[in-house]
A and B are shown apart, each in its own frame.
Chain A
Amino acid sequence: MREGKDVIRETDSREVARYLGYHKVKPDPAMEEEIALCLEDLCRAAEPRAVWRRCALEQKEDGLLTVKALPEDPSSGILMETASRSLSRNLRGCSLVCLMAATLGPGPDLLVRRAQILNAGRMVIYQAAGAAMIETWCDEINEEIRREAQAAGLFCRPRFSPGYGDLPLSLQRNFMSALQMKKEIGVGLTDSLLMTPTKSVTAFIGLGQEKTACPREGCEGCSQAGSCSFARS
């Protein structure tokens, strides 16, 4: 797998512009320069880390999903149980699921806090660039998981995170303990279930025997579709 710092350097500045609300408009050259500088600062400040784990998945008719440690794992038992129609749809036909967590570390949050004091314009650019960057990092982890799956003759489903659709945010607690996220990648959970550092993502990636047509994902699958000003055009 590639070095995290090399991966995040490839963050697409067009994605940053989209998060900033540039809808079908290109930023002017001065703003493009500003975005590029902020991306550079973020690349220096970020420490991309990730952790993932393959687990057994049981699905019942009523949408109840159970994620268990694999039989050969050193620790056994149920890692999480949840009823979610959205996730069931995403994981249909899978008997394995990969749990992943990725973060850019505390550096980007520090940059945002600094800019909050010195330069509000940069504050929002760091925020948007950080969002694009963590997605880029997640794509790389996703790709690694896909490669591992492919080697075992398995196919990946699009990644699906707590908070999407009807999937409860409370599952973050299970992710924390199943992946030892604090120890492994330095990600914690507030009492209100928000991850810190804020540029962190958890997700399920279903692994199935069959290559299925991907369910609708991203902007198209979102409940806010149609009313969101950040939608991909």
Chain B
Amino acid sequence: MNLRDRLGKEWLFCDGGMGTILQARGLAGGELPETWNIKRPGDILDLHCAYLEAGADIFNTNTFGANALKYPDNLEEIVRAAVRLAKEARKRTHREDAFIALDIGPTGKLLEPMGDLAFEKAVALFGEVVRYGADEGADLVLIETMSDGYEAKAAVLAAKENCSLPVLVTTIYDSRGKLLTGGTVDSTVAMLEGLRVDGLGVNCGLGPEQMLPIVRRLTEVASVPIIVNPNAGLPRTENGKTLYDVGPEEFSSWMEQIASLGIHVAGGCCGTTPDHIRRTIEKVSKLPFRPPYPKKRTVVTSFSQAVEIGPKPVVIGERINPTGKKKFKEALRSRDIEYILSEGLRQEDAGAHILDVNVGLPEIDEPEIMETVVKRLQSVTALPLQIDTSDPAALERGMRLYNGKPMVNSVNGKRESIEAVMPLVAKYGGVLVGLALDEGGIPDTAEGRLKVARKIYAAAEEYGIPAEDIVIDGLAMTISSDSRSARVTLETLRRVRDELGGHTILGVSNISFGLPRREIVNAHFLTMAMTAGLSCAIINPGNEAMMQSYRAFLALQDLDENCMGYIAAYAGTAPAPDAVSARPQGAAEGQKAAAAGPMRLGESIERGMTERAAALTREGLLTKDPMTLINEELIPALDRVGQGFEKGTLFLPQLLMSAEAAKAAFEVVKEQMAGTGRKIKGRIILATVKGDIHDIGKNIVKVMLENYGYDILDLGKDVAPETIVDTAIRENIRLVGLSALMTTTVVSMEETIKLLREKKPDTLVVVGGAVMTQEYADAIGADCYAKDAMATVRYADSIFDA
């Protein structure tokens, strides 16, 4: 019998602790438990038999820690032996009805960006285990004790791509209901259901009592069967000894309470024994069984946040998009990822809930850049992303590497589009934007658009995508070319909500294309659209008029409790129509500015006031030519700051804040000089060497060098010697700056220098980092040791100015 025929239809029970029992049988600290599959098979067999005799329906192979990192030489042997032992136990106890779960635990490494294990490497590691286990005859894959949703996603993909067995996933929460990576029940459930797991739940970490609130939340949000495998209480340390002291009687009573909340599979984890399971089965199987039912929630997630669509309109930031933005296009072409990230972070600070990510340009490798931008964005923001592309390859790359359940923008009613996009959503999960247009173009009536929407819902059903994972784009078209267009759009929104029970989305500002003072129309249209039921507004959250409409709407519609959101945004602000309300870059800037009164550009730079410096540069350019401004104000100010730092009268954060202010001033000059800008003194490679993940020092040096007129090729951290040398050759670079923080990684620095000397002997090397000294630098053959960022600037000047 297949597990799928019984799961969610009747009570099923998992086995209990494995590791804790093996320890009691003599497993030594540091000894890998899976080695017993070969060394002491009798003990493993006994344990399986005891659980099967106690009544467990699903029991785990002894493969929790089995992966190629821990078993580089004999993984296959270990996994196959484990499944064979499980089969033998089933035969011996005449429990042929029981299901063998191929047990998969975490890799033991942290995934990027937190650690150094690449996502695809994790998928490959899990995949190997799945292939051996499934081939040997496991009945399901149980992924458990996952404290990182991203790693769980890698394991699920590995399971789905290497076998067709049912997949169950349980994660480990702390007493506050969070994963170690910050994920919550809501975010984890949405992501795993998106990945189409057969069941999900919670195990380890806590006892049944502490799990109650987590299980309660699971029963509120999960639509698939729920599995609960607690420890025998919270581990208690007594004289350094770890104890689990909730006995079978007490444990099973708690499990009765848990079961009556509406779960579907019960079992145990650390510290539980066959007796715990036996008593649990006796008590729980008497309770009425309630099958899972669909919760119909529309949720998108990041690694830690869940944003529900429906209860109130959400703001989707539209700024990560090259359309009509010269600077953004330039950033894409030159791979200035940081510029793209800064667009995202500014929208987050301005109040966006989700960020749209569109990086499509005809001449670039879109799948590659999508991968890079999604990876980098999810390392700096906890906002969920909306992957926006018409290139299915770019869409798949983005969705696959995404840490959560993304929004997907978009599919439309054309068969070709449905066939390209829907299989990806069915595989990776996502909330899909459906544009109300098809082969016949954009219908010019609401009825026509609803017809397309119905077609999209029907197609989604064919692909197994639930209706709640569809959001219909009612299509905002400019009223300047068709004066009826806003009314059609608004009617579409209303009817999708009322007749289809669906959610809607709009790129709001399209409505005013071609009109003057567009934000007047946009802001009012936004209010009208939300009144007509708009669920997701794609807007620029940095546009104050739009956010005013949004916040006022929430307050007026009883969607902002006690108007707290409105008050937080506007209390104490003046109704200045031209004011920009973004959070100032330097917290103290406002205060400093107020105290300062009239100020010269140089002073604003010395005091690190970014916005003031930009404004004063704009002002200065009205009366002075750009070069005069640079030479008489900007450069002298930078020099004063640099000298202050060198003399010890001014410190690192001030140095950097001044650098940022100067950068803002240079940006203004560059804009006004129509791209000619400053003369670049030279190009320099910067990198943190292989093995080292500390890049703050390198980033400080980068900021300073850029300020002093250098073009920096920033290769990032943990950079292989070959990459640095190849780049130096390809770009014909005269100076390379290397950073290392640990004595252990100075070795990589030495290797890099050696390789550089061999392959490109005319390139000079400057080194720095916490452990670096002049003696060390000499020993590894560097040309210069720079004790800080200014020293690097001085050295670069000595090379390039000469």
Contact = CB atoms under 8 A, between A and B. Distances in A.
Interface stretch (B45-53, B158-166, B352-360, B583-591): B583-591
Interface in B726-761: 742, 744-745
Given A169-B744, A196-B693, A20 B23 contact: no
A73 B342 contact: no
Contacts of B381: 114
Contact of A124 (B29, B382, B700): B700
A159 interface: no
B638 to A, nearest CB: 14
B484 to A, nearest CB: 43
A64 interface: no
B646 interface: no
Interface stretch (A105-113, A132-140, A212-220): A105-113
Contact of A227 (B587, B588, B773): B773
Given A75-B27, A123-B656, A117 B341 contact: yes
B648 A190 contact: no
A197 B110 CA distance: 9
A101 B491 CA distance: 59
Contact of A169 (B148, B585, B742): B742
Interface in A182-200: 182-183, 185-194, 196-198
A157 interface: no
A80 to B, nearest CB: 9
A37 interface: yes
B517 interface: no
B240 A70 contact: yes
Interface stretch (A7-15, A21-29, A85-93): A21-29
B242 A117 contact: no
Nearest to B382: A110
B116 interface: yes
Interface string B93-114: 0000000000000101110011
A72 B239 contact: yes
A20 B655 CA distance: 11
B115 interface: yes
A142 B699 CA distance: 33
Given A120-B703, A124-B656, A73 B242 contact: yes
B29 A54 contact: no
A23 B240 CA distance: 41
A76 B699 contact: no
B29 A77 contact: yes
A121 B648 CA distance: 17
B659 interface: yes
Nearest to A80: B30
A23 B648 contact: yes
A47 to B, nearest CB: 7
Contact of B182 (A27, A106, A189): A106
Contacts of B585: 118-119
A120 B28 contact: no
Contacts of B342: 117-118
B586 A194 contact: no
A120 B592 contact: no
Interface in B364-401: 379-382
A152 B240 CA distance: 12
B715 interface: no
B346 interface: yes
Contact of B345 (A79, A114, A187): A114
A121 to B, nearest CB: 4
B657 interface: yes
A189 B108 CA distance: 9
Contact of B28 (A55, A77, A113): A77
A31 interface: yes
Contact of A78 (B30, B113, B178, B242): B30
Contacts of B651: 20-22, 25, 27, 31
B115 A121 contact: no
A182 B148 CA distance: 10
Nearest to B240: A54
Contact of A121 (B20, B145, B657, B695): B657
Nearest to B747: A192
A70 B182 CA distance: 33
Contacts of A33: 587-588, 591
Interface in B665-700: 690-696, 699-700
Contacts of B502: none
Contacts of B116: 190-192, 196
A194 B693 contact: yes
A100 B653 CA distance: 32
Nearest to B178: A47
B242 A74 contact: yes
B181 A72 contact: no
Nearest to B148: A186
A73 B241 contact: yes
Interface string A145-179: 00000001000000000010000010000001110
Contacts of A190: 115-116, 691, 693
B115 A105 contact: no
B654 A121 contact: yes
Given A74-B23, A114-B381, A120-B700, A30 B591 contact: yes
A99 to B, nearest CB: 10
Interface in B90-143: 106, 108-110, 113-116
A196 B653 contact: no
A120 B699 contact: yes
A53 B237 CA distance: 8
A127 interface: yes
Nearest to A41: B587
A120 B710 CA distance: 17
B563 interface: no
Contacts of B579: none
A124 B655 CA distance: 11
A106 B657 CA distance: 25
B114 A106 contact: yes
B61 to A, nearest CB: 19
A231 interface: no
Contacts of A193: 742, 744
B29 A76 contact: yes
A79 to B, nearest CB: 6
Contact of A119 (B241, B586, B588): B586
A76 B548 CA distance: 64
Contacts of A20: 651-653
A186 B147 contact: yes
A69 interface: yes
B380 A183 contact: no
A127 B691 contact: no
B482 interface: no
Contacts of B653: 20, 31, 34, 121-122, 124-125
A78 B241 CA distance: 15
Contacts of B694: 194, 198
Contacts of B692: 192, 194
A219 to B, nearest CB: 14
B338 interface: yes
26 contacts: A20-B652, A25-B648, A25-B651, A27-B651, A47-B178, A69-B29, A70-B239, A72-B240, A73-B242, A75-B23, A76-B28, A77-B28, A77-B31, A120-B660, A121-B654, A123-B696, A183-B145, A183-B147, A186-B148, A187-B110, A188-B110, A188-B114, A190-B115, A192-B116, A197-B114, A198-B694
Interface of B: 20, 23-24, 26-31, 106, 108-110, 113-116, 145, 147-148, 172, 178, 180-182, 204, 237, 239-242, 338, 341-342, 345-346, 379-382, 585-588, 591-592, 607-608, 648, 651-654, 656-657, 659-660, 690-696, 699-700, 703, 742, 744-745, 773
Which 9 pairs of residues, A with B, have the shortest CB-CB distance?
A: A188-B110, A54-B240, A186-B180, A192-B691, A77-B28, A121-B657, A75-B29, A120-B656, A30-B588
Given A72-B241, A114-B345, A123-B656, 14 more contacts: A33-B591, A37-B587, A74-B24, A75-B23, A77-B29, A78-B29, A112-B696, A120-B659, A124-B653, A189-B115, A190-B691, A192-B692, A194-B692, A198-B694
